[in-house]
Structure 1
Amino acid sequence: MKILCLSNGHGEDAIAVRILQALQQQPQAPEIPALPLVGKGQAYINHNIAIVGPVKPMPSGGFVYMDGRQLVRDVKGGLLQLTLAQIKIVKTWAKEGGVILAVGDIVPLLFAWLSGAPYAFVGTAKSEYYLRDEVGPLPRNSWFEKMEAWSGSVYLPWERWLMSRPKCRAVFPRDNLTTAGLKRWSIPAFDLGNPMMDSLEPSAAAIATKSQENPPLTIALLPGSRPPEAYANWHQIIQAIARILETFPNRPLLFLGAIAPGLDLDKLREPLEAQAWRLSITNHIFSSDPTALRFTQRKATLVLTQQAFNDCLHLADLAIAMAGTATEQFVGLGKPAITLPGQGPQFTPAFAEAQTRLLGCSITLVQQPAQVPKAIEALLSNPDRLQIIADNGQHRMGAPGAAQRIATQLIQQFGKLHV
């Protein structure tokens, strides 16, 4: 069996890698190259997964659909030529008897259908929680917002059409509410969980640290992964931290900056030092990351790490977040996140508002950094709310192990083609 994986973005690539690694562990592992439709596919390269066909980073960085001006830039950058070459690759793959796994949104799903090969789809971008929860439709203000639910599903009719084709052997939505909705349209949807929650295990050192008595209030800092937006987000987060220090002057505080490997730590360090944070020579927080930077100010410690993402999530009591996937993963661990809208192109006010619908009560959206301390006080003073948040996050994001469950189902569904 040969499975070509299509994905369209950094986060989607990372999710696809988890599934492909699970497929590699199957008794009769299929041949599983990848074709990233956006970017270079660094996640595949890092895990030694072969890339077939042309890849080329576009000026938009993958957010072409959020801004028409970005589309113009991408077209000038060779988007049409790249797309035609990629379509040719998937059609050739189909002629050679291969099948396709599409991960992301309608773009890889459309490519899979155009190939003519049998295909499966992992829907990472859409959830019914954007429109409704288990109680019913969410209140929306403008007529435009209300129109988002015009077709009866977060997936539009043409997306559902692609998922209901005979060649589509399986669809793996990101949560059970979305799965139940798609099944109403005779789509072969399977509720197997969200691969975002896989591979988030903490280190033994983090587990030991978490079990210590009287730990400091620990806050994860999630500025996002894409420059230059992440640097702008970081400045807002630093403003929030300054207000937190004023609000909790006598309380030990630990801030854990989970910084994407592609960001420049110097650009994060400089504004910290301008705010009177002093770089410390020693780092006793993450033994697994000797390159981590540790800063101190009053009773507070702040650490920047690019190698201990999982430990940051597990050690933190709450997060100040201006990220997509990282925020969802944090919430999926049952923890509250406070979010601030940024300037984009990703974490815009509209994106932040949509994220509150996706993740429900686990997200507290504030408009200004000065409002963060009050949000923290509200959370810490309400244990019942924290328990509801814990249950909500785990319910909406699902249990770990989804990649393995999806891989097993893929083998079963595609295996029927050869019976």
Structure 2
Amino acid sequence: MPGRLLVLSNGHGEDLIALRVIQALKQRRPEIEVAVLPMVGEGAVYRGAEEQGLLRRVGPRRQLPSGGFSNQSLRGLLADLGAGVLGLTLRQWRFVRRWGKAGDPVLAVGDLLPLLLAWSGGGPYGFIGTPKSDYTWAGAPGIAALYHRLKGSEWDPWEWALMAGPRCRLAAMRDRLTARGLRRHGVAAIAPGNPMMDGLDLGTLPLALRDWRRVLLLGGSRMPEAAGNLKRLLESLALVPSGAPLLVLAPTGSRPAPHEWEPLLLDLGYEPIEPPEALAELGAAAAWACGRRLLLIGPGCFSRWACWAELGLASAGTATEQLVGLGIPALSLPGPGPQFKQGFAERQSRLLGGAVAVCRSSAVLAERAELLLGDPGLARQLGAIGTQRMGMAGGSVALSRAIEERLLGSADGATG
């Protein structure tokens, strides 16, 4: 009988990681039935794979006002409570409990909440811990860093207990430093690789782009926050002294859609144009110009465009980490949130070893952008740090192998 696996993921970045792992797992075990429960939002990331028959989305789902970042602000938490997040979580818990009664395994991707739900199912479970890394506090100042140093891990004791439980067959971390810290607390943690670096195009720079300075623009995917992030980043870019023509590559997900850019860009002095013939085949859905700056908007183009950039201007989560993992430094500009606030940005910068520099104003960002665009050696130095922190591609295949051996194998033995 083909096996079954339920995958829980609680955020856009977690959905992406889970999808990469599922795709690799289906290459190894094409007969396995994979169900995914996106705990935050509708799980749009999974739609294409669902249409291909690789998985099916199950269980109660709802788009929450905070986009899954209610822990970043009181306002976000109150908005989610008003939208019924407690009832949603209760229904998701009941769904996982019903799944667990059959003895089928559960794979949690994310942080404490999906891990807790996987444990509550009563059957075997595995965990891919995505948001926490000991790099974020090693050498950092402040009470929070001291707390983590005293523990010896960014993960907390109740999380250690869930990961060290007898039914937890797999605990995979994003880097070796974090896995080593957990092993000191009795968790058999591994770090086989980072799926975030899989599926990215490493192609050569098109000839048509070699006369342009190239910046990648990442404002996030949650509206209306993304629009505010993009506005601040583009205002900062306008302060960079004009030299060579500047190409601003703006890959997006489903949001913001091309039409949602129009009021923002018109307000900033951009005009819609037909892209130059030499750039017409890059996959852009829209092109806008302002002085010597040309902006291309490309839904779904991140994996193709990212490696072409010299610098990233980023107020995003997962995509920023992927960008610096390709060796491209970035500058960030925190806003009011709910996701990309000052604390989030500083934590991300520590995680990536300074390959993303947090800027406190548009003027500072413009100054640093001018410096990095004019000093390729410094840009390469910072990019190398990002590559080291993120690791090489291949993590999805390694994780799928560990899931097959530790989670599916043990589940087959228990039910066979």
Alignment of 1:110-189 (within 5 A): 110-132=116-138, 138-140=139-141, 142-189=142-189
Q: Which moved more, 1:169-178 or 1:183-192?
A: 183-192
2:274 corresponds to 1:299: no
Match for residue 34 of structure 2?
A: 32
For the pair 1:218 / 2:223, whether they are aligned, the reply is no
TM-aligned CA distance change 1:77 to 1:380, over 3 Å = closer
**Matched residue, 1:90:** 96
Over 3 Å counting, the alpha-carbon distance change for 1:250 and 1:57 in structure 2 is closer
Checking the alignment, whether the CA contact within 8 Å between 1:239 and 1:370 is kept in structure 2 is no
Alignment of 1:238-277 (within 5 A): 238-244=234-240, 247=241, 249-277=242-270
Cross-structure match for 2:20: 18
Per the TM alignment, residue 366 of structure 1 is displaced from its structure 2 partner at its CA by: 1.1
- Indicate how the Cα distance of structure 1 residues 74 and 385 shifts in structure 2: closer, same or farther if over 3 A, else same: same
Change (3 A) 1:405 1:94: same
Q: Is the 8 A contact 1:218 1:316 kept in 2?
A: yes
List per-residue Cα deviations over 1:171-212 (Å, max 9, x = no partner): 11111211221222221212211111111125x6xx351x56
Length-normalised TM-score, structure 1: 0.91
User: Could you list the per-position Cα deviations for residues 373-414 of structure 1 after superposition, in whole angstroms to 9, with x for gaps in the alignment?
Assistant: 321233245444333323211111111121111011110112
Residue 135 of structure 1 corresponds to none
Q: Which amino acid aligns with 1:366?
A: C
Deviations 1:219-255 (A, max 9, x none): 00111110000111111012112111xx1x2322111
Structure 2, unaligned stretches of length 5 or more? none
Q: Which residue of 2 aligns with 1:4?
A: 6
Pick aligned residue for 2:230 from 222, 231, 234: 234
User: Pairwise CA RMSD of aligned residues?
Assistant: 2.0
- 2:361 counterpart (364, 368, 372): 368
C-alpha contact 1:252 1:300 (8 A) present in aligned 2: yes
Equivalent-residue separation in structure 2 for 1:57 and 1:214 (angstroms):
41
- d(CA) in 2 for partners of 1:186 and 1:143? 25
User: Could you tell me which of 314, 318, 323 is aligned with 2:311?
Assistant: 318
Give the whole-Å Cα distance in 2 for the aligned partners of 1:104 and 1:265: 30
**Hey, what does 2:194 align to over in structure 1?**
194
Separation in 2 of the partners of 1:8 and 1:359?
22
User: Which residue of the partner structure matches residue 281 of structure 2?
Assistant: 287
Q: Does structure 1 conserve the Cα–Cα contact (< 8 Å) formed by 2:208 and 2:279?
A: no
Encode CA deviations 1:344-390: one digit per residue, 9 max, x unaligned. 00001111111111111211211111222321233245444333323
1:305-384 correspondence to structure 2 within 5 Å: 305-384=298-377
1-structure distance, mates of 2:10, 2:280: 33
Gaps of 5+ in 1: 133-137
Report SS of the residue matched to 1:126: coil
Q: Matched residue of 2:254: which SS?
A: coil
Give TM-score, length-normalised by structure 2.
0.91
- Give the 3 Å change call, closer, same or farther, for CA 20–242 of structure 1 in structure 2: same
Q: CA deviation at 1:88?
A: 1.7
1:21, CA displacement in angstroms?
Answer: 1.1
Structure 1 pair 215–276 and aligned structure 2 pair: CA distance change class (3 A): same
1:56-115 Cα deviation digits (max 9, x unpaired): 222332112222343333333222322222112212212112001000000000001111
- Alignment of 1:65 with 2:67, yes or no, is no
Query: Which AA in structure 1 matches 2:279?
Result: I
Q: Which amino acid is 2:236 matched to?
A: A
Deviation at 1:146, TM superposition (A): 3.1
Q: Distance in 2 between matches of 1:84 and 1:278?
A: 48
- Secondary structure, counterpart of 2:114 in structure 1: helix
* CA distance in structure 1 between the aligned counterparts of 2:289 and 2:82, rounded to whole angstroms: 47
* Alpha carbons of structure 1 residues 308 and 143: separation in structure 2 relative to 1, 3 Å: closer
What does residue 62 of structure 2 align with?
56
Deviation at 1:308, TM superposition (A): 1.4
SS of the counterpart of 1:250? coil
- More displaced stretch, 11-20 vs 368-377: 368-377
Residues of 2 paired with 1:416 and 1:227: CA distance? Answer: 42
Which stretch shifts more, 62-71 or 345-354?
62-71
Contact 1:359/1:393, CA 8 A, preserved across alignment: yes
Give yes or no for the alignment of 1:404 onto 2:397. yes
Give the direction of change, closer, same or farther, for the CA distance of 1:107–1:312 in structure 2 (3 Å limit): same
**More displaced 10-residue stretch of structure 1: 218-227 or 90-99:** 90-99
How many Å separate the matches in 1 of 2:39 and 2:210? 48
Deviation at 1:295, TM superposition (A): 2.3
Corresponding letter in the other structure for 2:42: K
Alignment of 1:40-51 (within 5 A): 40-48=42-50, 49-51=55-57
Write the mapping of 1:99-114 to structure 2, written as runs, cut at 5 A: 99-114=105-120
